[in-house]
Homo-oligomer: A and B are copies of this chain.
Amino acid sequence: MIVVMKHNAAEEDVARVTDKLEQMGYGVHLSSGENRTIIGVIGQRREEAAQTLEAMPQVEQVVFITRPFKLAGREFHPDNTVIPIGEDSVGGHELIVMAGPCAIEGEEQLMEAASAVKEAGAQVFRAGAYKPRTSPYSFQGLEQEGLQILEKVRSETGLQIVTEVMDQFTVNEVAECADIIQVGARNMQNYYLLRELGKIRKPVLLKRGLSATIEEWLMAAEYILSGGNYQVILCERGIRTFEPYTRNTLDLSAVPLVKHLSHLPVIVDPSHGTGHAHLVPAMSKAALAAGADGLMIEVHPNPEEALSDGPQSLDPGQFRELIKELKGVALSVGRLM
């Protein structure tokens, strides 16, 4: 940290700050220009310390020069993290595709969707048993019954399963059935849930919050990593902006940025990211070209019968077609799919 004093700070103001810093266990390195004193602070970055300092008289601002994430950062972990997913993996040379309907509506629908995405080449099946819904009057998911259907899908198709967990108390229940546990955008800063996920030893798919900065997203990952679970997959799914046509604004620059700052794998969800099936193929290709380690795509056997997110779901034919096209894009950036 650097503490920048105000223009007219007196010596005693500076002394007050350095005393406080020493009290807090920090080393201090003073640098007095003609007009202004700058205090270099030696020691761990701490938000609380910065807030305390900013509340002191004659302090202009506190500047952080290190990033707040340690375990998620690339600085002390330069190599990419590669996470095994069944016989496949994410974060390495090969790309991963997760596909399936938004919600589990029943066994028949799910089996149909699962065989379709498997046949097209997906490695992981996605479908929600627990569904966070804006309205209390909307379909809230099949919950435990849904998890049982998912188990059947896995045993019959051999597909890996990713499904969402909505609170810390169902983590174990979901972990028994799922190969990857998904944290939804609304729960990205549900710290109790994140801490619980730090205790298990299964991959966690951490979606970016609707209005989360990259730094906040990596700090959410840090919660899981600091609990001892190093298998975190990040998932960009669009941020909230003023543009009304798309449901969200898919921030693909987050992909190379996360790769630059962190060693964790990152995938992209163009279905939630755009909200329109007709934009999904272009944005899927763009995601791979940007360096994403995989995709999460909504596929429904019959989008117009879907209980949720129909307008953004591909049908099995469209999905099959897309997978074919994606293989070429993957190759063009040196990846395999």
Mark A residues whose CB is within 8 Å of B: 2, 4, 7, 20, 29, 31, 33-36, 38, 40, 42, 46-48, 51-52, 54-56, 60-61, 63, 65, 68, 75, 132-140, 166-169, 186-187, 189-192, 194-195, 210-211, 213-216, 219, 222-223, 226, 239-246, 249-253, 255-257, 259-260, 273-274, 277-279, 281-283, 285-291, 303-311, 313, 325, 328-329, 331-333
| Residue contact B29 to A33, C-beta cutoff 8 Å | yes
**Is A285 in contact with B289, judged by CB distance below 8 angstroms?**
yes
Contacts known (A304-B52, A333-B329); A257 close to B286, Cβ less than 8 A: no
**Chain B residues in 8 Å Cβ range of A137:** 46, 68, 226
Let me know if A240 and B211 touch, CB within 8 A: yes
Contacts of A169 in B (CB 8 A): 169
Question: Known: A52-B306, A189-B134, A331-B332. Is A245-B257 also a contact (CB below 8 A)?
Answer: yes
Cβ-defined contact, A257 with B246, below 8 A: yes
Distance, CA A211 to CA B238, complexed state (A): 13
* Interfacial chain B residues near A65, Cβ < 8 Å: 4, 36, 38, 60-61
Q: A31-B40, A256-B283 are in contact. List 16 more A-B contacts (CB 8 A).
A: A31-B31, A48-B308, A51-B310, A52-B304, A55-B277, A132-B189, A134-B216, A166-B191, A186-B189, A239-B249, A240-B242, A242-B242, A259-B282, A260-B278, A282-B291, A289-B290
Q: Which residues of B contact A255 (CB under 8 A)?
A: 282, 286
B289–A135 touching, CB < 8 Å: no
4 smallest beta-carbon distances between A and B, as pairs: A211-B211, A55-B310, A289-B289, A256-B282
Residues of B within 8 A of A138 (CB): 46-48
The answer for the CA separation of A192 and B283 in the assembled complex, in Å, is 33
Task: Check A134/B47 contact, CB under 8 A, given A286-B252, A332-B331.
Answer: yes
Interface CB pairs A-B, < 8 A, 21? A20-B304, A29-B33, A33-B42, A47-B308, A55-B303, A55-B310, A134-B189, A137-B226, A213-B244, A215-B245, A239-B249, A240-B242, A249-B249, A252-B252, A282-B290, A286-B286, A286-B287, A286-B289, A286-B290, A288-B289, A332-B332
Q: A328: which B residues are within 8 A, CB to CB?
A: 331-333
CA distance A47 to B132 in the complex (A): 13
Minimum CB–CB distance for A254 against chain B, Å: 8
Shortest CB distance A298–B (Å): 11
Give, as a whole number of angstroms, the nearest-CB distance from A242 to chain B.
Answer: 5
Contacts A60-B65, A250-B253 known; A42 to B34 CB distance under 8 Å? yes
Chain B residues contacting A246 (CB-CB under 8 Å) are 253, 257
Distance of A52 Cα from B304 Cα, bound (Å): 5
Smallest distance from the beta carbon of A135 to chain B beta carbons, Å? 6
**Which chain B residue lies CB-closest to A190?**
B190
A213 CA to B29 CA in the complex, in Å? Answer: 33
Q: Which residues from B are CB-within-8-Å of A252?
A: 250, 252, 283, 286
Closest partner residue, chain B, to A65 (CB atom): B4
Smallest beta-carbon distance A206→chain B, Å = 14
